[in-house]
Structure 1
Amino acid sequence: MALTSSHNVISSDRVEGTGVYNAAGDKLGTIDDLMIDKLTGQVRYAVMEFGGFLGIGTDRYPIPWNMLKYDTAQDGYVVPIDKAVLEGAPRYTSDRVPDYDENYSSAINKYYGF
């Protein structure tokens, strides 16, 4: 029996490194990591790298997964966010990953209007 692939399912290692763009087509960053709910198995946040140089001084911005829409023309994800919105968004450095507890998740969701 031959296995068929589904275009609606993708490995996390293929998502990581994918570009993230705003609606105007400006590149905001790339997906660094996915945060998965342990109980439901659903992706809750895509963590986007933004800023820095070659990973040094780069901030990570958790964005609610349901805000990202894959765009085949961009070969990346599009979010309804511009760079000015990211300036005040929740973020952290790679060496200070926060606990994604209820308070932190609530702060992210509130910032993005969820």
Structure 2
Amino acid sequence: MPTATGHTDAIPASRVIGTDVYNTAGEHIGEIQDVMLEKTSNGIMFAVVGFGGFLGIGEKYHAIPWASLDYDTDKRGYVVPYSKEELRAAPSYSVNELTEDDGMKVRNASYDYYKADPYWQ
């Protein structure tokens, strides 16, 4: 069933990974590197967005609440409602840190930082 903006509810992760991410000012901020799933509740914990780095060296990963991403057909990418300053100040993680404690530490820090409504409550 399509969403209010005409998008479908279901989308393959393979189609999401590699998609560019922009802020509301239209600035390119990175791309989706992965999607973290919470398999016990069948929820999407967060999108893993890569910022900076070159060929994977020095890249930082940000866990952005999935509901914060809105697909923009004109940009052919996702838009998040955060400024570059908010994103620069956001917690960032290594690949290994994203899954420590089953990802719960990162998930909770992400939802707290971005003041997103927790999907698990």
TM-score range, shorter chain: 0.7 to 0.9
* Letter paired with 1:104: V
Task: Report the Cα offset of residue 22 of structure 1.
Answer: 0.6
Q: Which residue of 1 aligns with 2:109?
A: 107
Task: Report the Cα offset of residue 94 of structure 1.
Answer: 2.6
Over alpha carbons, which structure has the higher Rg?
Answer: 1
Q: Please give the secondary structure, in 2, of the residue aligned with 1:77.
A: strand
Taking structure 1 as the reference length, the TM-score comes to 0.85
Conserved? CA contact 1:57–1:93, under 8 Å: no
Q: Where does the alignment leave 5 or more consecutive residues of structure 2 unmatched?
A: 1-6, 117-121
Taking structure 2 as the reference length, the TM-score comes to 0.80
Cα pair distance change 1:98/1:42, threshold 3 Å: closer
Report the identity percentage: 43
1:32-111 alignment to 2 at 5 Å?
32-99=33-100, 100-101=103-104, 103-111=105-113
* Letter paired with 1:71: D
Q: Tell me the number of residue pairs that the alignment of Structure 1 and Structure 2 aligns.
A: 107
Pairwise CA RMSD of aligned residues? 1.5
Alpha-carbon distance in 1 for matches of 2:66, 2:79: 11
Cα pair distance change 1:98/1:88, threshold 3 Å: farther
Moved segments of 4+, more than 4 Å = none
Q: Where does the alignment leave 5 or more consecutive residues of structure 1 unmatched?
A: 1-6
More helix as a share of residues? 2
